Chains A and B, each alone.
Chain A
């Protein structure tokens, strides 16, 4: 019997209706702002159920969706750079960061000088 294709773990994420910032659904059904406190969903059917529940709360959030994530040391971590930027804030304005750069954040774009120092050239 062939195994079912493995399911990439998911988180439910959206933007807060009033403020517009990024929120995640926790296991207890709270909208939280820290990705590590989000529920990491490892079962596809459960993921769909959680998304449906989130979609029913459209007076709280905008555009909930399932995003890929992985298990990190203290909770879910992003696997794609878009979710890394959503978790941590714009990279060009460190003063507006909401969290330290998340895993999967691409390296800073290096100037030529920095690339030389790093031996990338």
Chain B
């Protein structure tokens, strides 16, 4: 994995020193909040409902064990002993004091992590498939490209004052686990005649105007990536609207001008950009790629795994839901659920972080990942180590066997933390998880995603069942959407009808589940397929008919 060099360390030390001085000037009154706000935002410092919030990037979701320990240390020393993993592969600390944040930054720099451009109208943390480098279905590991993009975009002088924030997601696999079509730029690695390249998608995004990204280039040679992305950013920087915050994202630029016109603007910009690249980017990329060499895999004895699986039903249930095929048959990808039933999705205590770091060292070559689904991944585990790993996870409340099931819910912080929220989302996730716990195995694969406002941090538009919390005349009200899809079959869910008050939203979700179990053609037809086959009508009936309509408001 990428290790900071002297340049990186010096750059971050200087940047933190600048921020430390800015904080001091704010605290002594030399800077107004208006002057200070953009400075703190470009360093990942928000002011939320109850406290400051410090958002730290986990680039392309990859962490080394000592980095996870660094996060644990920061959580304990300067926060309240936990962190919250987000839907964009960041971690948020919910309780820092302003004056302590430069110290937190300095400590994170020692383990190679920073918070630059986790907010503001800049290029944000580049997100990637959380199974990158491990998945059996992968063409190539996308993380070297993501690291190149991180280096290129960090403090890029031309793109510090974009019309609006800008998000890039990348996958190296045909099965899209990085929701690439919900990003300003989505990148999917493809091959043409043996040559590596990318399908480039633009103008995706959730929020108040949810749009699926459109393909602007179906094949871009790998060497052209940075100049082409620069051309996209330059075209957006010129054409993106600065008069209206709600129309400033690239998706609106593409929508209003049309994909063809936007593509023309990009292509017009591209030749000069490409000419300006001397090939230094490819040298940097080659050096980065060398740092992403896979670990030296040891053989894993599948017999020991099979024996444990046969002997222990709890282990078997966990293995059946939480393991994914590794590109080596004697290894597995472990997804560790941060969704214990009734827990806050994505919250992880410092003790749990250390346990995960220790497990990664003991059984997983020191590697960890954070998924946009707010779980932790140990990407390379020899199969014979799985029983021992599972035993330790159990001791730390991390062995919940629910990955991909109804209680594996994405939820934004909502009204419990966020200044933008219009309703709570975490308690809705907690109540749904507790309600469905006993029958979620029977229900099978289901994505429930919850946002506490229209900005859609909880990805509700792409949930099979999406829930959006709103403020209706001073009362929380929850709208339901159905049929969203976050994968390569990306789709925006459709609203069912009137929303439900807080004390009726969980029973409403239950009725959807009851209807699905009634309607499905068999246990191997997942919820989303039943919905696609039958459409909205039977689910709408389950929600609103038979007197249930009085539940809606």
Q: How far is the CB of A84 from chain B (nearest CB, A)?
A: 10
Complex Cα spacing A112 to B49, Å: 29
Complex Cα spacing A108 to B476, Å: 12
| Highest count of chain B CB atoms <10 Å: which of A62, A92, A108, A115 | A92
Q: Which residue of A lies closest to B33 (CB)?
A: A62
Indicate whether B157 reaches chain A with its CB closer than 8 angstroms.
no
User: What A residues does B33 contact at CB under 8 A?
Assistant: 58, 62-63
Q: How far is the CB of B156 from chain A (nearest CB, A)?
A: 29
Complex Cα spacing A96 to B430, Å: 17
Which of these, B51, B95, B344, contacts A92 with CB under 8 Å? B344
User: What B residues does A19 contact at CB under 8 A?
Assistant: 51, 97-98
Kindly count the residue-residue contacts between A and B in the assembled complex, taking CB atoms under 8 Å apart: 104
Complex Cα spacing A36 to B508, Å: 37
Indicate whether A22 reaches chain B with its CB closer than 8 angstroms.
yes
Q: How far is the CB of A60 from chain B (nearest CB, A)?
A: 9
Complex Cα spacing A103 to B305, Å: 54
> Are the C-beta atoms of A17 and B506 separated by less than 8 Å?
no
Which of these, B47, B426, B435, contacts A15 with CB under 8 Å? B47
Complex Cα spacing A108 to B415, Å: 13
| A-facing residues in B55-108 (Cβ within 8 Å) | 80, 95-99
Indicate whether B26 reaches chain A with its CB closer than 8 angstroms.
yes
Chain B, residues 413-456, CB within 8 Å of chain A (1/0): the string is 00111000000101110110011000000000000000000000
Q: How far is the CB of A9 from chain B (nearest CB, A)?
A: 16
> Are the C-beta atoms of B27 and A17 separated by less than 8 Å?
yes
User: What B residues does A106 contact at CB under 8 A?
Assistant: 424, 475-476, 502
Complex Cα spacing A22 to B47, Å: 11
- Overall SS of chain A's interface: loop
Indicate whether A85 reaches chain B with its CB closer than 8 angstroms.
yes
Complex Cα spacing A91 to B97, Å: 21
Q: How far is the CB of A44 from chain B (nearest CB, A)?
A: 21
User: What B residues does A92 contact at CB under 8 A?
Assistant: 344, 416, 426-427, 430
A contact residues, range:
35 or more
Which of these, B27, B80, B98, B434, contacts A96 with CB under 8 Å? B80
Indicate whether B32 reaches chain A with its CB closer than 8 angstroms.
yes
Q: Which residue of A lies closest to B34 (CB)?
A: A58
> Are the C-beta atoms of A115 and B476 separated by less than 8 Å?
no
| A-facing residues in B10-58 (Cβ within 8 Å) | 26-29, 32-33, 47-52
Indicate whether A113 reaches chain B with its CB closer than 8 angstroms.
yes
Q: A20-B97, A115-B503 are in contact. Are A109 and B434 (CB under 8 A)?
A: no
| B-facing residues in A92-109 (Cβ within 8 Å) | 92-93, 96, 98, 106-109
> Are the C-beta atoms of A107 and B26 separated by less than 8 Å?
no
Q: How far is the CB of B26 from chain A (nearest CB, A)?
A: 7
Complex Cα spacing A19 to B427, Å: 26
> Are the C-beta atoms of B50 and A112 separated by less than 8 Å?
no
Q: How far is the CB of B456 from chain A (nearest CB, A)?
A: 19
Q: Which residue of B lies closest to A87 (CB)?
A: B50
Which of these, B26, B415, B431, contacts A110 with CB under 8 Å? B431
Indicate whether B507 reaches chain A with its CB closer than 8 angstroms.
yes
Complex Cα spacing A85 to B49, Å: 8
Indicate whether A18 reaches chain B with its CB closer than 8 angstroms.
yes
Indicate whether A4 reaches chain B with its CB closer than 8 angstroms.
no
Which of these, A86, A93, A110, contacts B503 with CB under 8 Å? A110
User: What B residues does A90 contact at CB under 8 A?
Assistant: 49-50, 416-417, 426
Q: How far is the CB of B94 from chain A (nearest CB, A)?
A: 8
> Are the C-beta atoms of A18 and B98 separated by less than 8 Å?
yes
Q: How far is the CB of B427 from chain A (nearest CB, A)?
A: 4
Indicate whether A59 reaches chain B with its CB closer than 8 angstroms.
yes
Indicate whether B505 reaches chain A with its CB closer than 8 angstroms.
yes
Complex Cα spacing A48 to B206, Å: 38
Q: A107-B502, A121-B507 are in contact. Are A81 and B427 (CB under 8 A)?
A: no
Q: List 24 A-B contacts (CB under 8 A).
A: A15-B51, A18-B27, A18-B99, A20-B47, A22-B49, A58-B29, A58-B32, A63-B33, A81-B474, A82-B471, A86-B49, A90-B416, A90-B426, A91-B426, A98-B50, A106-B475, A108-B431, A109-B424, A109-B506, A110-B503, A111-B431, A111-B434, A115-B507, A120-B503
Q: When A and B form their complex, which 5 residue pairs have the shortest distance between CB atoms, in order from nearest? A: A59-B29, A90-B416, A20-B52, A20-B51, A109-B427
Given contacts A20-B50, A90-B416, A98-B50, 19 further A-B contacts (CB under 8 A): A15-B47, A15-B51, A18-B27, A20-B48, A20-B51, A20-B96, A22-B50, A85-B49, A85-B415, A91-B424, A92-B427, A96-B80, A106-B475, A106-B476, A109-B424, A109-B427, A109-B430, A109-B502, A113-B435
